[in-house]
A and B are shown apart, each in its own frame.
Chain A
Amino acid sequence: KAGVTQTPRYLIKTRGQQVTLSCSPISGHRSVSWYQQTPGQGLQFLFEYFSETQRNKGNFPGRFSGRQFSNSRSEMNVSTLELGDSALYLCASSFSGTANYGYTFGSGTRLTVV
């Protein structure tokens, strides 16, 4: 079966712009989580969605938002981009809401803000 698909793979944006990233989980997976990965901070949790509801949220400013659709696909939006938002954004899906079987990660979207 297809893995977790993230689009686009690469993005270059200018400060002040906004961006939308997309994630299609593995078929049947209802939980989708987003992480920001940077060399200095490692994996930072953004938010988690389960059955279209945001269940958990990390410590990121309100410029970071997301949603999940009825088919479990998820989008993440960042408004008013800052240079510090440059990172690899990872999406992970799991079958259960508890992720006790672990997450399956996508390849990520590398966002560069100039």
Chain B
Amino acid sequence: AQRVTQPEKLLSVFKGAPVELKCNYSYSGSPELFWYVQYSRQRLQLLLRHISRESIKGFTADLNKGETSFHLKKPFAQEEDSAMYYCALSGRASGTYKYIFGTGTRLKVLA
């Protein structure tokens, strides 16, 4: 079954510390992976896509097909990074496209 797992509900780090938000997926094909972010009182928005190999706001994510992971990383956390982060997967399954979200991880960056 297609699944996106974010094992941590809450991750607290101090400002300036490295951040890694974990995402593991289960999918029997070649999925597209995404990270979305939702800041307090703002709409959910796309942060980055693995196909773009981009760095947004200092965040990067590498798709590891062997470990079926797509962890989100940032070397130095900032207080404004505090938000809810969702990992998502897009792919074809049973003849149709599926778009699946993980349950999210709340990141708190402490001063």
A residues contacting B by CB (< 8 A) are 33, 35, 41-43, 45, 48, 55-56, 90, 92, 97-108
Contacts and interface: CB of A to CB of B under 8 A. Distances in A.
Contacts, number: 52
B25 interface: no
A56 B94 CA distance: 11
Interface of B: 32, 34, 36, 43-46, 49, 51, 86, 90, 92, 96-104
Contact of A108 (B43, B98, B99, B101): B43
Contacts of A35: 101
Given A43-B86, A98-B90, A105 B97 contact: no
B97 A97 contact: yes
B43 A33 contact: no
B101 A101 contact: no
Contact of A99 (B44, B86, B90, B96): B90
B99 A42 contact: no
A103 B104 contact: no
Contacts of A98: 32, 90, 92, 97
B44 A90 contact: yes
Nearest to A55: B96
A63 to B, nearest CB: 22
